[in-house]
Amino acid sequence: MITLCPRPFPVRIALASALLAAGCAISPGSQAPPAPAGFSADTFTREGLVSGATATEVGCRALPDALWVETSGRRECLRYAAGGAAGPSPVALLHLPGDPPGIGYRVAGGRVQVDRVSEFYEQDAGSRRLAARILAGTMQNMPVFLIARPGMHGSSGNHAQDRHTLDEVELVDGAVGMLKRRYGFRDAVLSGFSSGGLLVANLLARRSDIRCAVIASAPLDLAQFHSRPDGIVADDFALRMPDLADPMRSVATIRSNAEIFVIGDRRDRSVPHAAWIGWSAAARRKGLRVHDAQTNGLDRAELGPVRTYHITSGRSLEAAYGCATGWPPERLRQALLGGERILRPAGQRLDGAAIRAAFTGRQLSGVDWNRWGMRATLSTFWSTDGKQYQFHSAHLDRRLVTQQWWIDSDTLCTSDDGCNAVLFDGQALHLVGDEPRRFQMSFTADAPGH
């Protein structure tokens, strides 16, 4: 829960300065915090993502959301964010993200390096925890873990060099085992988007406790993924092939009873359909329970006007939740094909007066399901003069969106998203669209009126 701080006057300057002037505590702004003790860099930042980071065991164990993972060849500190019920549980949902938004790679001296990455990559541990809490809340408090891959989101390692490698698979596998022991869940439901889906496919060959696996828009055939238009495989990929964790190689060793969903948009320009369809066919030949489903891929508008149809992480999480809660596989597949909502908003519907009390003059942190999905959170300010400001959660001086807001009868309206009902589920405020209800925005909050 966050304490909502009222604001008696309109915001005319950056949110950070305005809230400080009003006496409200806020999270850090654009000044990047120092790396945690024992870490050479903070991979929550773009600079840390580029450089990579080392960590000491002492520094790692001092963090409440970190796992010191030891494999046959590596020792790294992997971060995670947890949400949902505490204590032992029969099942938990674990999500593995894709590569950072707007990233590009280059090869120099035979080593892969990050060439560029969008500022929208940057988060912090607090915003990751917020995303996990909100996601778990929409899933009836099911335990949810957002696992940070090596070299990303606060973890040690080097993202560019660890990406798609056997080392990355072994480290993430070790992290899953440690989370299971730390939190006491019995079975895992895995969701993986893009390169995170490649990890899920490889984990199927290593673990027997996976109840469901959802693989979304993932490069499951690395030779196909790295092929040029003329069919020739790039030289740098050929040189690195022995170290890469190609799911087309590991599929032959999978012995799993998991329900496996492979989803994506056939129009995908980032990971072509051909880069995952062969894996599905190979898995079926092995007798695995694989369900393919076409789903519409989205784009991040802030990264430019070019459509990629790539982002399916939201649908991956929904499908994982549906499988974890017992949806019959074919029923779930049909829901994915038909665009049916699987995560359905619930809670007490607020009237106009309660909506006004919950939002007016308040800073609320949450997620915008339409623009950013669960990859990142944002901080909003709902001014008394009818403006809603959205700011980068890790950099409160970076304004992302400004729009008008008002109340029409028992709905909250914004100039970009129209009018929506507001539900309060005891933990979060949800702006939801018309029937069938769908999430628009969700915010952590105290009970309306407090």
Task: Map residue 133 onto helix, strand or coil.
Answer: helix
Q: Is the pLDDT of residue 416 over 60?
A: yes
Residue with tokens 């607020």: 350
pLDDT confidence band for 231 (50 / 70 / 90): low
- Res. 293: pLDDT tops 90: yes
Q: Give the integer Cα–Cα distance in Å for 308 and 310.
A: 5
Mean pLDDT of all residues in 168-172: 98
Q: Which residues contact residue 207 at a Cβ distance below 8 angstroms, ignoring those fewer than 6 apart?
A: 173, 176, 188, 256
Mean of pLDDT values over 8-35:
44
Q: What is the pLDDT of residue 22?
A: 36
Predicted local confidence at residue 298, as pLDDT: 87
The model's confidence at residue 376, banded by pLDDT at 50, 70 and 90, is: low
Name the nearest CA neighbour of 147 among 102, 73, 203.
203
> pLDDT at residue 90 above 70?
yes
Which of the residue ranges 199-203, 212-216, 406-410, 438-442 would you say has the lowest mean pLDDT?
438-442
CA-to-CA distance for 155 and 381, rounded, in angstroms?
31
Give the residue from 317, 316, 230, 218 showing the smallest Cα distance to 268.
218
pLDDT in tens, 113-132: 999 999 889 888 988 998 99
CB 125 within 8 A of CB 27: no
Rg (CA), the chain: 22
Class of domain 15-29+345-444: mainly beta
Sequence-separated (6 or more) residues with CB below 8 Å from residue 230: none
Q: How confident is the model at residue 377 (pLDDT cuts 50, 70, 90)?
A: confident
The residues near 412 (Cβ < 8 Å, ≥ 6 apart) are 355, 359, 405, 419, 420, 421, 422, 431
pLDDT over threshold 80, residue 430? yes
Checking if the pLDDT of 190 tops 90, the result is yes
440 confidence band (pLDDT: 50, 70, 90): confident
Q: Tell if the pTM clears 0.85, that is, is over it.
A: yes
Higher-pLDDT residue of 304 and 111 is 111
Nearest Cα to 175, choosing from 70, 36, 255, 82?
Answer: 70
Dump pLDDT digits (tens) for 352-373.
999 999 999 999 988 887 654 5
- Give pLDDT, residue 120: 83
Least confident of 4-13, 69-78, 165-174: 4-13
Architecture of domain 46-338: 3-Layer(aba) Sandwich (3.40)
| End-to-end Cα distance, the chain | 12
Cα distance between residue 430 and residue 129, in whole Å: 18
The rounded distance, in Å, linking the Cα atoms of 346 and 420 is 14
Does residue 79 have a pLDDT over 50? yes
Q: Which of 272-276, 361-365, 391-395, 429-433 has the lowest mean pLDDT?
A: 391-395
Exposure of 253 in the CB half-sphere (CA atoms within 13 A): 13
Q: Which comes out higher in pLDDT, residue 395 or 215?
A: 215
| Start-end of CATH 2.40.128 domains in the chain | 15-29+345-444
pLDDT reported for residue 438: 86
Helices 329-338 and 313-324 cross at an angle (nearest 10°) of 150
Nearest alpha-carbon partner for 84 in 123, 132, 47, 122: 132
Mean pLDDT of 230-257: 81
Give pLDDT, residue 308. 93
Distance CA 441, CA 215 (A): 25
Q: Does 8 score more than 50 pLDDT?
A: no
**Residues whose CB falls within 8 Å of the CB of residue 379, separated by 6 or more in sequence, listed in order:** 15, 26, 27, 363, 364, 365, 390, 391, 392, 393, 396
In sequence order, the 6+-apart residues with CB closer than 8 A to the CB of 392 are 119, 120, 122, 378, 379, 398, 400
Report the alpha-carbon distance of residue 131 to residue 244 in Å, rounded: 30
Quote the pLDDT of residue 105: 92
430 strand-pairing partners: 423, 442
Q: What is the location of CATH 3.40.50.1820 in the chain? A: 46-338
* Residue with the larger pLDDT of the pair 276 and 235: 276
List C-alpha distances in Å: 288 to 145, 254, 272, 279, 332.
Answer: 26, 8, 23, 11, 17
Quick one: DSSP state of residue 10? -
Least confident of 51-60, 116-125, 174-183, 439-448: 439-448
Q: Which of 199-213, 255-269, 294-308, 341-355 has the lowest mean pLDDT?
A: 294-308
- The token duo for 121 is 């990559």
pLDDT (average), residues 266-284: 95
For residue range 378-406, what is the model confidence (pLDDT) as tens digits? 889 999 999 999 888 777 788 888 999 99
**pLDDT over 90 at 170, yes or no:** yes
CB neighbours of 261 closer than 8 A, spacing ≥ 6? 212, 213, 214, 215, 290, 291, 292, 293, 319, 323, 329, 332, 333, 336
Q: Cα(130)–Cα(81) distance, rounded to whole angstroms?
A: 8
Selection from 193, 417, 420 nearest residue 295 by Cα: 193
**Residue 186 in contact with residue 232, Cβ under 8 Å?**
no
Instruction: Provide the pLDDT for residue 18.
Output: 41
Average pLDDT of the residues of the chain: 87
Give percent of the chain with pLDDT exceeding 90. Answer: 68
pLDDT score of 417: 84
Q: How many angstroms separate the Cα of 35 from the Cα of each of 57, 121, 294, 377?
A: 15, 17, 41, 21
Instruction: Of 23-37, 46-60, 249-263, 390-404, give the lowest mean pLDDT range.
Output: 23-37
